[in-house]
Structure 1
Amino acid sequence: MDLENRTSVTEFILLGLSDDPELQPLLFAVFLTMYITTLIGNATIISIIRAECRLHTPMYFFLCNFSFVDICLTSVTVPKLLTNILFQKKTIHLIGCVAQLYFFLLFGNMESFLLGVMSFDRYVAICDPLHYTTVMSQNICIVLVGLSWVISAFHSLIYSVMASRLLYCGSNIIHHFFCDIPPLLKLSCSDTSTYEMVIFTEGSLVVMSPFVLIAISYGFIVFTLIKVPSDQGRWKAFSTCFSHLIVVTLFYGTDIFMYLRPSSSYSLDYDRVVSVMYTIVAPMLNPFIYSLRNKEVKDALKKAVCRPRV
């Protein structure tokens, strides 16, 4: 096969979640509802944090950024999914596919780094409260978020360039509802061993570094809380971490399953279900997890709802 034929595939077909015509209206309604809920929920969290002076603290600064990234992450995949369902036009150009992959990885990795930064914030607040305002100053918080953006952007660029350099000379059907590394590797007719090595080395380092920071932070937190004599004091301190732990479990549980395993073990049906969890369901649930478990956010929400209108 000559080079011209091997590089002839420049457009892909996203199969989506189901080919059953009878399911399309239901899928459209469900995912449109989830997308609108995600936008409203995260926008509400951002608005409350910005409007309430009591919430102008490092923890809520990171949560505000996290909600913004949630909106961006779900907006990378869901509008295209809804368009494909509604108009049954499932094609995507190679350039569009690479662009979607870039922004998906950018915002996905940003969530990972923000979760790591938020765990460090909880560590300082619980283990070294006297120096909290110094360690977690406004400038340091901005630097941490900015550095997270830079690392995520560079990491995403590596994978996007990698995907654009792969040869797609056979089928152009992507068994997924968006462009992601696993289905593209499976579709490529290139030798992907080098790319898989990059995923297991650089990818593991970037993805797992925040996870290691989270594990270390909570190790110190648990060690500190063990020495607290009062059960009530111990629970009060730990309750500030509970929402964060739920989000971490949901995020890393699906992330590790999807990416830190050989491409030969990918299962199309299971992977699409897991992808729905971390691209659509998790961003929708995160505002509720943080608001329902957080008294300060609930109080600010009640204050905003009950505020008299002029």
Structure 2
Amino acid sequence: MKARKIFITGLVSLFAGAAACAQSYPGKPIELVVPYAAGGATDVIARMVAAELPNELGQPVVVVNKPGAGTTLAASELARSAPDGYKLYMTTAAHTISASLYRKLSYDPIGDFAPVHLVARIPIVLVTAPSFEARTLEAYVKQAKENKDGITVGSPGNGSPQHLAQALFQKQTGSNFVHVPFRGDAPMLNDLLAGQVESAFVTLSAALPHIQAGKLNALAVANPTRIEAIKDVPTMEEAGVPGFNAATWFGFFTPAGVDAAILEKLHQATKKVASAPEFVSRIESMGGEVVNLGPADFREYVKAEAAQWAQAVEASGASVD
């Protein structure tokens, strides 16, 4: 009986300590890890949030860029970190793709991470070189089917969301594509603008300046609704490819096992930052949209994304050892 009383007292003390810790959180600066180099869309959005989070949390948020190995380097470090809320991770669709793309991972992209907040989504757009003759999605698909040599389609790399979107599109439409992988968006766009590559599935934020300048032709955006920044460009559904949606999303995670109260505090703080009119306007100027999903909804979103990208990886035949 005495032992049981001691055990119960210990449990009460444990939970009381956890509750007190959550109430006092954060008590020191928070590190926000970005698995990409500085200057890209993920880094820009992470820094936009990090600049305003201290106003909500009362502590500095320090952005640390740790690029490498297709985001798996930083993800591996996060998975091994303490689940105390002092290390956050802003990543993209690449996180869910890695579950199917990599044959060997030292972590579980789903089980080892607690989704905090889905901030924004930037859809993928199909664009063609200035000299390419097809000016509508219907004409593009027709040409891709009839051309025995196929249409060249660039991507920023094997296994990237853009490459996998291309593979899904090819499977759904029966198009004949020749995949041309590059090492990033910049060299791909340079060759596309020069007409060395005929088309590409591109994250809208990267292609938007060239579309607005009339240097690239946007055939359709892989989003359920039109995007204000290019409102004259139809969705894939409107253009004749039903149900085809693909986007790069930007969301916060933390190591699994974090206290629910800390998770909720981080979510509410991020939601307030991402709901500000200035923030929304900035995301829209990048061709994106603010999403603002909390932990439970974001977890379901991640599961659905992982399933979709698994199909795309299979269709593409891509894999990384």
TM range (shorter): under 0.3
- Give the TM-score normalised by the residue count of structure 2: 0.25
**Structure with more of its chain in helix, by fraction:** 1
